[in-house]
Structure 1
C-alpha cells in the first residue's frame, strides 16, 4: 500500500511539473506574441567574404531566444551552386522562420554568380513553403551579393517580394585594402559617393529596379579611431547604400554604432545590433 502511494505521489509530482512547465511556456509565448508580429514570412541571413553560417548564429540565436523567431533552417550552397537544406524545416503553424545561408564558395567575388546562389536558395525554400514575402539580413560582402541579386531584373523573375532588408557593415562601395582606403571617399549632398568602384557603378545603373515596397535598415560601425570606418568598411562605403535605395524603397534608416564593439567582425556579435535587428524585423 505504501509503495502504491509512493508511486501515486511521484506521478502526481511529475504531472504537476509538466503543468507548471507548460504554463511557463504558454506565458512566454503570449509575451512574445504581444511584442512581435507573428507571420509566416521567412528571414534569410547571409554571411560575408571568407565567412560561414557561424557568423550569423549569434544573431539568429538571439532572435530565437527573444521569442521573435521560432525555427532555424540552414541552406548550404556548394561551389557549383547546388542547394542542400538541413534542419527540421517549418510548417503552417511556424512563425517568423529563419534561414541561414552558408556558401561553400565563400571567397567568390563574382557577384553575379553569388547573386544567382541567393536566388537558388529562395527558390528551394519556395518549392516547400510557397511564401509571398521575405526579409533579408546580410553582413559585409553579403550585402554586395544581395544588392546584385535584388537589382537584377532577370534574377527577380518568379521571386517573392522583399519586405525588409537589414544591411550590417555593408561594403557597398569598397573594402579597405581591396578597392578602398580610409578617409579617401566622401558623399555628396544627395548621397552619391565622390569615388565609385566598378561594382558600385553597376549598382547605380540598376538602382531603378529596387522594390518600392521594401523597408531598409542600414547598420554600420565607427571605431572612432580617426579612420571613419569599422576597420574594414568605411562609413562612406556603408552609407553609399542610401543613394541606391532611398528614393525607391518604402523607408530607409541608418544607425551608426560606435567604439570597439563596432569593429567589422564584432558587429555580428553586438547586442545593440541584435536589438535593432529584432525590433525592425519583427517588433510591433
Structure 2
C-alpha cells in the first residue's frame, strides 16, 4: 500500500517539477531578452555631432574641403550624410559607429534656394531630430556657409530653449549675410539697408525685415551661451564680393557677443565663393571645433 501511495506521489511531483523548470526557463529567457535589449540601446556619444549646412544652390560636395581637412588632421573618424527633401523628410546615408570620434554630418537640402528662413530652420531641426532618434545625441556643433548660416540661427530660434532637443555647443559661421547682401535684385527684406553701420556690439543702426525676425534669438544666446567663430572675407572693399563685412559682423549682436570671435580673411581665396575652400579657414575651423 505504501508503495502505491509513493508511486502516486512521484507521478504528481514530476509535472510540478517540469512546470517549475519551464517557468524558471521562461523567466531566464525573458531576462536574457531584456539584457540583450538593454545592451542594444542607442550609443551615447561624448563628443558633439557636427552638422554642416551648405549655401545657396549647394550640396554636400561644397562641404568636402573642411570635412577632408578634419579627417586629415585626425580629429574625426566618422562622416555621414543627411539628405533633406522638399517636405523636410530626412534620409541618413552612412552610419555612426559606436567608437565614433567627433562625427560630422554633411547636410544637403534638395530645396537649396529656399527663401523662407524659418523653413531652413525646420530642415535643420528635422536632421537633428532624426539623429537624436537613431543615436540619442545630446549635443551638437554646427557649421554654416552663406545661406546655411540661417539654418543655425533658426534652429536656435525653434529649439534653443527646448530641454529635450540637443544643445548647440559651438557654431562656425562663414560668409554670413545676417543683415542682408547688397544686390539690388534682392527683395527689400533680404537686402542690406542703405547707410547701415554697426556699433561695437555688432548692433546695426538699420535692420532689414529678416534681421528683425532673427533678433528674437538674442535672449536664447544670453541664456544658453554658445562658442561662436565668425569667418568673413575682405577682397579689399570691405566685403567678400557678395556680403559686406558689417552685415556679417552683425552676427555678434544676435549671439549676444558672448564667447564670440572673428576671423577676417584677406588676399587669395577671400571672396565669398572661395572661403569654404580656403586653407586658413579650414585650419581655423578644425582648431576651433576639435582642438
Structure 2 spans left out of the alignment, 5+ residues: 1-44
Instruction: Give how far 1:252 is off.
Output: 0.8
What SS is found at the alignment partner of 1:204?
helix
97 and 216 in structure 1: CA distance in 2 versus 1, 3 angstrom threshold: same
Structure 1 CA distance for aligned equivalents of residues 101 and 256 of structure 2:
29
Say whether residues 1:65 and 2:72 are aligned partners.
yes
Q: 1:256 maps to which residue?
A: 264
**Counterpart for residue 266 of structure 1:** 274
Residue of structure 2 equivalent to 1:166: 172
For each residue in 1:98-157, what CA deviation from the matched residue of structure 2 results, as whole angstroms up to 9, or x when unmatched? 000100000111111111110110111111211211100000111122212212358846
In the other structure, the counterpart of 1:238 is: 248
Question: Aligned residue for 1:99?
Answer: 105
Aligned to 2:150: 144
CA shift, 1:39, in A, is: 4.6
Deviation of 1:53 after TM superposition, in Å, equals 1.1
Give the structure-2-normalised TM-score: 0.78
Match of 1:204 in 2: 215
Match of 1:90 among 96, 107, 124: 96
Tell me the residue number matched to 1:194: 205
**2:196 aligned residue:** 185
Give, in whole Å, the separation in 2 of the partners of 1:53 and 1:184.
36
CA contact (8 A) 1:153 1:209 kept: no
> Is residue 230–residue 261 contact of structure 2 (8 Å, CA) maintained in 1?
yes
- What is the CA–CA distance in structure 1 between the aligned matches of 2:231 and 2:76, rounded to whole Å? 20
**Alpha-carbon contact 1:174-1:233 (below 8 Å) kept:** yes
Q: Residues 254, 154 of structure 1: CA spacing in aligned structure 2 closer, same or farther, 3 A cutoff? A: closer
Q: How many Å apart are 1:61 and its aligned residue?
A: 1.1
**Residues 209-224 of structure 1: pairs in structure 2 closer than 5 A:** 209-210=220-221, 212-224=224-236
Structure 1 residue ranges without an equivalent (≥5): 1-37
Kept after mapping to 2: 8 A contact 1:182/1:234: no
1:74-89 alignment runs, 5 A limit? 74-87=81-94, 89=95
Bigger Rg over Cα? 2
CA displacement, residues 32-65 of structure 1 (integer Å, 9 cap, x when unaligned)? xxxxxx9532100000112111111111111111
Q: Is 1:116–2:116 an aligned residue pair? A: no
Give the drift of 1:189: 3.5
Aligned residues: 241
Work out whether 1:278 is the aligned partner of 2:290.
no
Two-structure CA RMSD over aligned residues (Å) = 2.0
Quick check: 1:137–1:165 contact (8 Å CA) kept in 2? yes
TM-score by length of 1: 0.80
Q: How has the CA–CA distance of structure 1 residues 208 and 91 changed in structure 2, closer, same or farther, with 3 Å as cutoff? A: same
For 1:146 and 1:116, locate their aligned partners in 2 and report how far apart those are by CA, in whole Å.
10
Seen in structure 2, the aligned counterparts of structure 1 residues 109 and 147 have a Cα distance that, compared at 3 Å, is: same
Aligned-pair CA distance for 1:183: 8.1
Give the equivalent residue in structure 2 for 1:21: none
- How far apart are the structure 1 equivalents of 2:88 and 2:266? 37
SS across alignment from 2:196: coil
